[in-house]
Each structure stands twice: as C-alpha cells, then as structure tokens.
Structure 1
Amino acid sequence: MRITKIHFRNGYKRFHDLTIDLGEEPARIVALVGPNGCGKSSVLDGLLYHANAHQRIGKPQQRDPTYHSMKETNVSWQDIDIRFTEGSFNEVHNARSSAGRSNTIFSFRSPYRYNSTLKIKETRAVEKISLNSYGAGDASSLDAKMEDNYRRLYALYNSYLDENDIKPSEAKSKIIGELNRSIQNCVDLEISNLGNVEGDKGTLYFSKPDHPKDFEFNVLSSGEKEVVDLLLDLYLRKNDYNDSIFLIDEPELHINTAIQGNLLTEIDRLVGPDCQIWLTTHSIGFLRALQTKMYSQCQIIYFRPEYNLAAEPCVLTPMKVGAGTWRELFSVALDDMALLVSPKTIIYCEGRAEPGVGGRERGLDAQVFNNIFAESHPDAFFTSSGGNTEPDQRSAIALAVLSKVFPTVDILVLKDRDVGSGKYMDEKDRQIYLRTNSPNHRVLTRWEIENYLFDKDVLKAYCEGEGLTFSEEAYDKLVTNISDQNLKDYVQHIKNFCNIKSSINADVFKVELSKYISAEMPVFRELEKCIFDRQ
C-alpha cells in the first residue's frame, strides 16, 4: 500500500492549501526535506489527525485549535484528503475493518522517543501490537514504546521456548537473531540476554567486543538507545504491519552522522516490501543514503524556503534530483559547507556566471543540462561560467584547485558550436577544434542549446504533457535544419506552434522544455554522446 496524493485545505497547520502529489507510481520511500519550521512534521500530523477521526490511533493528547491551525480556525479532519494506490482513506479503512486491522494503516514514530530507563518488576499482558494503542499520537509528543515492546519481546521468547523442544540459547538465537543483525549493522553492539523479570533483572542486556561483561539497556548512550528502540519496534511490527504506511519523524536525532545511513538501510530492510516509508529529515547522513543506496526507490519532496505555504495554494511534486539539486538539498543540513559535497564531474558551460540568492544557478544552459541529466548522470553538475572564453579560464582555475582536493573529480568545458565568435562552424570544424584542444573540452553538435530544446520530439512531449496542441505543419515550415539553424530569435514562433496563449518568460519556457527531454529521445542520446563521450 502506498500514498499517491495528500490535500490539506482550510488552513490546516501552516498550510493554506497544499497538495503533495506523488504521481501514479509512488516510490517506496518518501522523504520530506527542508529546514526547521517548513511544515515537514505537519504533514505527518495531518495524516494522523485524519486517521484518528476514524479510529483512535495511539494516545494523542487533547489538542486545542492552535495545534491543528496556526490561524486558530475550526479545522476538521475532513479538510485533509488522503489517496492511496487502493483508493480513498474510507475505502482502505472499511476494507481493513472487516478483518479487524483498521488500526494498521499507519505506524508512527515521533522524534521525541524512547524510555530513558528500562527495568520492569513484573510480567503482565500487553495489548496486541496491531491495536496501535501506545506511543505518540502526534509529532510533539513523547513516543515511549520501549517498555511495552520489551514485554512483547520477552513474551515472544518465552512462548517460542515453551512451544518448541529446544534450548534457551536456540530460542534466543531464533527470536533476536535478525534484530541483532540490524543493530550490529548500525552500532557496535548486540543483545546478549533478554533478562529475567522474576529474578529482578527485567531489562535487555548487551555486549560489546571491547567490554568485559554484559551491561543493561539503561547505560547505553542516547544514540544507542534510539537505534535499539526504533529497530525493536519495527522488528515487532513486521507481521501485523505488512502493508502499512510507516511515518518516521526525524529519526536522526541523537544519532551520529556515520550511523544514520546504515540505520535507514535497516529501516528499509525491516519494513515489509508492500509498505511505504515516509520520513522527515534534514540530516546529511540520511540524505547521503537517499542519494546513493536508496536512489532508485525514493521520492523527495523539498519544502523550499521561498514557498509561501501559509498564504498561497501550492502543489508539491517529487523533485527531479541530480548533482545540482543534491547540492541544494545538502545545504539544508550543511549550510555553506554543502560546497564540500563534490560531484564526480563538473561541467563549465556558457551562461550567466553570477549566482542568485543562496547560490542558485542563474545560467540558462546549466539549468537546462542539470534538468536533462539529473536521473541518468546524478553525479554530474553543470555550472555557468560566463561568455565564450570564460569557461576556459574558470575551468583552468578549478582544475588547479579541485584536482588537489578532489583528485577524482573531472572538470569539463562545454561550448556552443558558435565557438568561432559567430562564424559558421560545421562538423568538420568542430572535430578540428576537439583534436586541437585538451581532452576535457566539448562542443555541442548543434548550434546552440535552443536547437535541442526546440527539437520536434521535445515540443511534442511538452504539448502532450501540458495538454496543448502542437502545430507540426507550421513548425516544419520554419524549422528546416534543426542542427544548424539559428533558432534563438524564434522563441515566440515556437510558443505559437505549441498554442501557448498565456504569457511565459522565454527562459522559463526553455527550462520547462528541458524537463521533457527523456532518455528515450534521439536528441538526448545525441547530447549525451557529445558531452560525456566527446563524440
């Protein structure tokens, strides 16, 4: 089961009218990324608020209107619409109610979690984990699940021991073996003993390679407690929450950066394959794991600082990530230190060199190329460096500096085919230029970037995606040589061929076109060979 779309209206939390649309094929992992106060946790709160209205989940505190709306309006759960791959929330809830599983739609972890101490004095029954009746009910409450989960683990071990003619060590290996594997992949630690409640040792005991004897849960560090607590909860939920939405709010708190990536790997391993994981984060460790290990199975919703979500309607969709956008995402965690997160290939191209607010790329060519190659070449980063001769100068400086700091980084120079200062340059001239310049130089096979963006396949895809009608006959009369023709001055004609009635800035139009260049198009393969294969 996966969420496809959420809609918040009527001023829920800090949202005037917000839609998060993951498309028809939502990913397994959805990461909500942004600075503090942008609304990440509010999204999870809204999901729980809607679910609680149907059936009580967790132990939510009684919240006054100021918690559910910054405007103190009378917000209802009906102002939140949740769509799943299986249909509406009502449809999913009703289908599960008949099987007594209506509480397993969501599994939630707040960022304020764990029992700081664990020592029980007596055994007692606890509610079924599928009832979801313990822990936090919103993102601001303490998620104290450890004691109940310890009782469940202890009961699971005793039941397995009673039902099977085996030694206690064999029962322990069966019950906590998989859990220990997850713990050891994150911290240098393993559960050595489940304790003995009747012997006044009602707690988990751990061992470390460099420690002479076993020790209690209570003496673990805050980070170790969080890792154990979170992984134990997921481990116990595997059977009852095998097609659920796991909501995990800032799981990186108190956890070392080096551990965070491994923790996300174990979260992914313990959560069933038919589930979806929603997590909020601004952690470099989690972002790095999403960039590398989880790249193919995640969608990232970026709450940009400039969004006015409190006053304007907004539709957020998964960002198309590449080296440039990863740099922007890492800036959430690193601020200016994000500059140290280096891509494998940096391509200097022509265009406006001065950055915008927050270091944003302002050059058209760089924006276009970063869009085109975001998925196929995520470690390549295009940056603008001025006019015809400036890419040479800036790339030479970059080679001299970065090659010493990051010896594995390739620095390339990419130029338009009008490299001859406006003089006509054919394919033979282009090949001569490549042979007589250093191997890091590239020249476009077509005249300029517009000759790729205004390709017929691209315009057809754009019109289809935007619900517009493409005038192919009129296009063919104007564009007679897509490789050599100077098309920069025909932007208005191209917009007319797409039947665009509204006003749209020329550069904005070109950037939007770049989003429709897919890897299946001949124009994409031509660009790719030109830039990355030097053909």
Structure 2
Amino acid sequence: MRIKKIQLKQFKRFDDLTLDLGNEPRKIIALVGPNGCGKSSIFDAFEAKLKNFRNYGDEGNTFYSKALFYEDQQHISQSYSHNNSIIIEPSLITRKSFYIRTSYRFTSKLNVTQIKALPDMLSDRSEPISTIALDTRLESNYKRLIGNAQEQFEEGSQTYNQVKEALIGKINQILRSVLDIEISSLGNILKQKGQLYFKKGNTKDFPYSNLSSGEKEVVDIIIDLIIKVEKYTETVFCIDEPELHLNTSIQRKLLIEIEKLIPENCQLWIATHSIGFLRALQEELKDKSQVIDFSADDYFTGTKIINPIKPSRQNWQRIFNTALEDLTGLISPRKIIYCEGRDSPGRGGVERGMDAQVFNTVFAEKYHDVQFVSSGGNTELDQRSDIALAILTKVFSDIEILVLKDRDMASGRDTDEQARQLYLNNNPSNHRVLKRWEIENYLFDKEVLQKYCLSNELNFNEEKYDSEITDIINQHVKDNLSLIKNICGITTNVTPDIFKINLSKIITSDMNVYQELENCIFNRQ
C-alpha cells in the first residue's frame, strides 16, 4: 500500500489540510519541520483509522476533534467522526494498512520470566493507541523470538543453534552495519536470564540492560521491523522521530537499513528533523523518497495543500535550518561554478548576476550541492576563481571550483567550435565553455520559447522565428529581445533579466537545451 493523498478536516489543530503526493508516491515519505508543526498528527490520523478494526484503546474524541478540543460552541454539538474528518487515498483500509511506532519507546530493561501463547500480531494490545502513548512492544517481540525458536526446533529439521542463528543472523547483520554490537544469546528464561545478551569487541554476553540508550533504540527498531514485516504486508510503516538517542552517523546508517527491511509493496513514513536522516534522504535515498516540509507555512489555519518539495538547494537549506538553526551557514556547496555576470551581490549576499541566477534555477533540483556565482567578465573569472581555489580548498577539502565562460570569450571576435576545443585542451580541467555563443542562445531556443508560450497561453509564431533565428548556436540573439517578444505575442513591456529568468524556470531535464548545458558544464563536452 502506498498513500497518494490525505485530507484532514477539523482534525486536531488543522482546519483543512491536504497532503498530495501525486499519482506515483515514493516508498519513503519524510515529514520534516520544527516541534509542534503537526507532523505527529498525521500519524494520529492513521491511528484513528485503525479504530474501525479494533475495539480497545481510544484517546477520546476531544483528542482528535478540533472543535471539541477548543470547545467551539458553534460546533460543540456536532458529533466527531474520523471517517468524515480523515480521508485517505487509496480508500481501502484494512487492519494491516498501518503499523505505527511512537517516539515514546524507552524500554530500559528486559526481564521475562515465562513464555506462554501470544496473540496474533494483529491482535497484540501492546501497540500504542496514539503518538503520545508509550510503545512497549520490545518485550512481546522478545517473546516471539523465543517462541519462534522453540517452534522451529520442535519441528526437528534443525538444531537449536541452527534455528537461533537463522533468527538472529539477519538482526546481527544489520546491527553490525549500524553499530559495533551483535546478539550473542537469546537468554535462558529457566535460568532467570530472560533477556537478550550481546557481544562488543572482546566483551561477550553482556545483557540488554547494559546497552546505551542509543543502542537500545536501534535494537528495538530493527527487531520490531524484522518480526513485523512477515505479517504486515501492503502496509504503511510509520516511525515518529526514530532518531532519538542516536548520533548523526548512526541515524544515517539506520534509515538506510530500515528502508531495506520495508518491502517494496509497502511505504515508510517518518517524522524527523534529524541531520543524519536528512542527509540519507538527500543522498543515498533521494530517488526513493519524498519530503513534506511543514516549516514552509502555517498549515493549521484555513484550507492548505502540501506537496512534496523539489530537492533544490534552497529547499534543503531551509530544511537543514530546522535542524541546525544558525549553523546552517556551515553547509557549503560541494561545487562552486564561477560564471560571467554582475559580480557585486545584493543585500544579504543575494546573487544579482543574471547568468548565475539562470544556471542556479535550471540545475537547482538535480545539482542541489552546486552553487553558480557571477564574477564579472572574462578576465575577472580567471583571477577570482584562482583566488577562490587557493583559499576555499584549504578550508573545505572536498570543494570543487569550476570556471564557466561564454563562447564569446575572445573580446567580441567570433570563436567557433574548433576554437572552443582548443581553449579546453589548453586550459586546466576545471574550465568550461558554452557550446553556444552565450546564455541567451539557450534561453531563446525554439524549444524553450514554445514551452513558455504554451504555459502562458501565448501564440508562438514559429514561421517568424524560423525566418529570423536562422542559427541559434552562433547567432548574436542577446540584443533581439523585441523580436523575441513579438514572436511570443508579448505586447507589454518586460524587464529583460526577469524575463530571461522566467524562461529558465521552465527548462527541465527532459529538454535538449538542458542536456546540452549539462554536458557542457558538468561533463566538459
């Protein structure tokens, strides 16, 4: 099961909120934002839907209903119904549709004294009933491990040690990749050792109770998911703040392993503002995840729609700001590309160079760790990039600095493709040159202008374009803005730089113009 859309009406603190993930939702949905922004309320909505399938545990309508909670006298007489207040697509919900872990789950000790028949997992009452309820499932999970070992041993096809290794082998494989511990023994209830035992380095058979808080957190989550994924199929697994007690390195590794445990026909929802988890979402899991950013607006009041963010540098910087606050400035781009344009910044360091603004717009989503910076004309580019190389590479060891020039780099004299290749062959490998004369030769490409006209309901005059723009590669089109306006049917005045930046906003990775620019800049072709 993969959720496409959720609508919450008068639910908890929300008036009318819709989360729209599109027709092809991804496997991982990350809810990010500061404390109190409503992330956990999404899981409470899922939890409320499960009330249709179980007759125990209920926080009461005042916990879920906004009108009842705030005692709104105009609506106090209205009866609350989670079926009307919570609308989920797809709408077919079963007892296995949601599996939720709360952030309240600190099992400090295990002390099991007896084993008896356990209820079916779907009837297990140890699960929490809301995101503020305590999650105490570790003990029942331990009992299930022991029970499974006993059951398989009684079948007689394997020795007890073989059964034990099969049960804990997968757990240990993950523990070794995330931490430096592993389970050494399932304990022995008959000898009053009813808990898990571990080894770390040369230390063996120390009890679960001696693990650190972070180690317990990892063990708890991994065992829980390994046991539950066999039963919970077509399920949305929800974990509220899984980073508790964990440092950023472990957070990152843990999320990567959690994703591997979740079947492909399921979905993983996490509520987080952890640096480690955000890094995993930004890099290793970027193609499998969508991020819902609650920090961008007040989503409690009025009718609001949240869509997954585009993974641009600007969006990631805002999200990391939630986790790092004033330390966000320490997150530097991994690649700085100096290009031509106005070199003096605006207030607050805002980029004023048109070329840099265009490139940052075009490549923001795919190359979120790249920053284009305008640095004056052709000569200034070489000087300033050399200074930056000498200084920044000493401070940031993994930073890369490139120089990007227009093909009109010969002081107005014509330079053809042969001259371009000669320049590339006789200059350092961090130098790049556009295939076309300058940036306007890409922005005024027929492919771009047609798409712009279509999106703005303008009539594109293709016949006039073909007769006037005869060589988009080499023709000096920069000063032909009036002609371009006429071809696009624009009758009003336009500010040249703003118009060009708006053109750059519609250039996407499936367009030939994008691919040519990408090859010039990032592949040095």
TM-score range, shorter chain: 0.7 to 0.9
- Unaligned stretches of 5+ residues in structure 1: 94-101
Distance 1:284 1:429 in 2: 47
Residue 97 of structure 1 corresponds to which residue in structure 2?
A: none
CA drift of 1:57 comes to 8.8
Q: Report the TM-score when normalising by structure 2.
A: 0.83
Structure 2 residue 98 is the aligned partner of structure 1 residue 106: yes
Structure 2 residue 362 is the aligned partner of structure 1 residue 372: yes
Distance change in 2, residues 1:180/1:441 (3 Å)? closer
The count of corresponding residues between Structure 1 and Structure 2 is 512
Distance change in 2, residues 1:179/1:4 (3 Å)? same
CA drift of 1:532 comes to 2.5
Distance change in 2, residues 1:403/1:66 (3 Å)? same
How does 1:495-506 map onto structure 2 within 5 Å?
497=489
Structure 2 residue 173 is the aligned partner of structure 1 residue 181: yes
Residue 460 of structure 2 corresponds to which residue in structure 1?
A: 471
Asked whether the equivalents of residues 57 and 132 of structure 1 are also in contact (C-alpha less than 8 Å), the reply is no
CA drift of 1:381 comes to 2.8
The 3-state SS of whatever aligns with 2:193 is coil
Residue 300 of structure 2 corresponds to which residue in structure 1?
A: 310
The 3-state SS of whatever aligns with 2:299 is coil
Asked whether the equivalents of residues 322 and 370 of structure 1 are also in contact (C-alpha less than 8 Å), the reply is no
Distance change in 2, residues 1:153/1:475 (3 Å)? farther
Structure 2 residue 85 is the aligned partner of structure 1 residue 79: yes
- Unaligned stretches of 5+ residues in structure 2: none
Residue 233 of structure 2 corresponds to which residue in structure 1?
A: 242
Distance 1:388 1:23 in 2: 45
Distance change in 2, residues 1:20/1:66 (3 Å)? closer
In structure 2, give the amino acid aligned to 1:120: V
Distance 1:40 1:296 in 2: 22
Residue 447 of structure 2 corresponds to which residue in structure 1?
A: 457
Q: Deviations over 1:220-252 (max 9, x none)?
A: 111011101111110111111122111111111
Structure 2 residue 403 is the aligned partner of structure 1 residue 413: yes
Structure 2 residue 179 is the aligned partner of structure 1 residue 197: no
Q: Deviations over 1:117-163 (max 9, x none)?
A: 21122223332213364322332332221112112222111111112
Structure 2 residue 149 is the aligned partner of structure 1 residue 157: yes
Residue 21 of structure 1 corresponds to which residue in structure 2?
A: 20
Q: Deviations over 1:494-524 (max 9, x none)?
A: 896499x9x9998777556545423332211
Distance 1:458 1:507 in 2: 16
Asked whether the equivalents of residues 450 and 487 of structure 1 are also in contact (C-alpha less than 8 Å), the reply is no
Residue 131 of structure 1 corresponds to which residue in structure 2?
A: 123
Distance 2:40 2:207 in 1: 33
How does 1:139-154 map onto structure 2 within 5 Å?
139-154=131-146
Distance change in 2, residues 1:248/1:60 (3 Å)? farther
Distance 1:230 1:452 in 2: 51
Once the two structures are aligned, what percentage of the paired residues are identical? 42
Distance 2:416 2:428 in 1: 18
CA drift of 1:165 comes to 3.9
CA drift of 1:329 comes to 3.5
Distance change in 2, residues 1:530/1:275 (3 Å)? same
The 3-state SS of whatever aligns with 1:108 is strand
Distance 2:269 2:342 in 1: 38
Asked whether the equivalents of residues 152 and 158 of structure 2 are also in contact (C-alpha less than 8 Å), the reply is no
CA drift of 1:210 comes to 2.9
CA drift of 1:318 comes to 2.6
Q: Which 10-residue stretch deviates more, 333-342 or 348-357? A: 348-357
Asked whether the equivalents of residues 453 and 460 of structure 2 are also in contact (C-alpha less than 8 Å), the reply is no
Q: Report the TM-score when normalising by structure 1.
A: 0.82
CA drift of 1:526 comes to 2.1
Distance 1:13 1:376 in 2: 37
CA drift of 1:40 comes to 2.5
In structure 2, give the amino acid aligned to 1:29: I
Asked whether the equivalents of residues 447 and 486 of structure 1 are also in contact (C-alpha less than 8 Å), the reply is no
When Rg is computed on C-alpha atoms for both structures, the one with the higher figure is 2
Residue 281 of structure 2 corresponds to which residue in structure 1?
A: 290
Alignment equivalent of 1:264, drawn from 255, 261, 273: 255
Distance 1:222 1:158 in 2: 29
The 3-state SS of whatever aligns with 1:24 is coil
CA drift of 1:173 comes to 0.7
Distance 2:357 2:19 in 1: 24
Alignment equivalent of 2:59, drawn from 31, 54, 61: 61
Asked whether the equivalents of residues 450 and 460 of structure 2 are also in contact (C-alpha less than 8 Å), the reply is no
